[in-house]
Amino acid sequence: MYKKKINKIVLGTNNEGKVREIRKLLPKRLNIDTPKRRNISSPKETGSTFLENSLIKAKYFSNKTGEISLADDSGLEINVLNKKPGIYSARWAGKNSNFNIAIKKVYRELKKKKINFNKQIKCRFVCALTIYWPNKKFYQSQGKIEGTISSKPMGKKGFGYDPIFIPKGYKVTFGQMLFSKKSKIDHRFKAFKKIKKFF
């Protein structure tokens, strides 16, 4: 099964930011479809880990379409918040996926813990990817990037929590970084490197 390169795929995500970034990681020759184009909404994420939730999504979209699906479950883990928002990263933004709300919540929760921004607030982005074939076989990978939370949101590039995440070794947030740079160091790229062989 794995010997044959994948030519066609349904991305198992309804997040436009992810669609944009995953598209750029995949080869140009690949035929890429999206649930949005087919009017399929996302399943409930009932898992307790990134890997479980990415499997739920990949399996769901493959079953719905009869195609091979690639799904991403990702999020931001903040050490002093006991790894929250973690798998709840999207849910912190509410029904309308408003990341101003999610980012405000991060600062509110840090304030509750009386966090001093002179100290580094350690965190990481995690990305779990699952490729699910219609014959029910699947393959998973995970990638992480360590970093810190910036004292205020900076930059308008990227999506989600990018304006508050400063990757380790850098002085700017993902929100200030060109995608051509982010996409060579981030959690999604690291997870994708491990499944690249299928494409």
Q: Does 42 participate in binding ligand ITT (rule CB under 6 A)?
A: yes
Exactly one of 73, 142, 149, 189 binds ligand ITT (CB under 6 A); that residue is: 73
Query: What secondary structure letter does DSSP report for 41?
Result: P
Q: Are 182 and 174 in contact (CB under 8 A)?
A: yes
Helix, coil or strand: residue 72: strand
Other C-beta atoms lying within 10 Å of the C-beta of residue 175: 21
> Which sign, positive or negative, has the C-alpha torsion 10, 1, 48, 158?
negative
With beta carbons less than 8 A apart as the criterion, state whether 173 and 162 touch: yes
Where does this chain touch ligand ITT (CB under 6 A) — which range of 23-31, 66-74, 106-114, 135-143? Answer: 66-74
Among 143, 147, 153, 160, binds ligand ITT (CB under 6 A): 160
- Is 77 one of the binding residues for ligand ITT (CB under 6 A)? no
Is 73 considered catalytic here? yes
**CA–CA distance, 14 with 36 (Å, rounded to integer):** 6
**What is the size of the binding site for ligand ITT (CB under 6 A)?**
22
In this chain, which of 13, 34, 142, 150 binds ligand ITT, going by CB under 6 A? 13
As a whole number of angstroms, the distance between CA 174 and CA 28 comes to 25
Interface with ligand ITT includes 192 (CB under 6 A)? Answer: no
Which residue has the CB atom at the shortest distance from ligand ITT? 160
Measured between its terminal Cα atoms, the distance across the chain in Å is 12
Q: Give the shortest CB-114-to-ligand ITT separation in angstroms.
A: 26
Q: What angle do CA 110, 116, 121 make, to 5 degrees?
A: 65
Write down the least CB distance from residue 125 to ligand ITT, Å: 6
C-beta closer to ligand ITT: residue 114 or 148: 148
User: Which residues carry out catalysis?
Assistant: 73
Interaction site with ligand ITT (CB under 6 A):
13-15, 18, 42, 45, 57, 72-75, 89-90, 125, 158-162, 174, 186, 188
